[in-house]
Amino acid sequence: MTSIEYAPFGWDKTYRYVITREKKGDKQGNLFTGDEFTYRAIMTNNREMTDLEVVAFLKFMQRRSFDYRRLLYDGSILFPRI
């Protein structure tokens, strides 16, 4: 895990990109690079949190969003199916 500062082409402001790398579970390599990793980048303007805190916060918000959608669309949080 690492982070870099980058200003996309034509943009005046720089943003922080937190980059993560995870080993794939299926052991299938990439056709072009031959590696077995999945790379992800998170673009943020938060420069106070550590890289790990940014990733943890994003995962937390994704879970909250998923739970909220389940509540809205099928009520499975309040009324689990038996």
C-alpha span between 70 and 75 (Å, rounded):
6
Convert the pLDDT of each residue in 50-81 to its tens digit. 999 999 998 888 887 777 666 666 655 554 44
Residue with tokens 């082409």: 9
Beta bridge pairs of residue 43: 17
Q: Does residue 33 have a pLDDT over 90?
A: no
Q: pTM for this one?
A: 0.69
In 10 A of CB 18, how many CB atoms? 22
Q: Which residue has better confidence, 57 or 34?
A: 57
Q: What is the DSSP letter of 30?
A: P
Q: Where are the domains of the chain?
A: 2-73
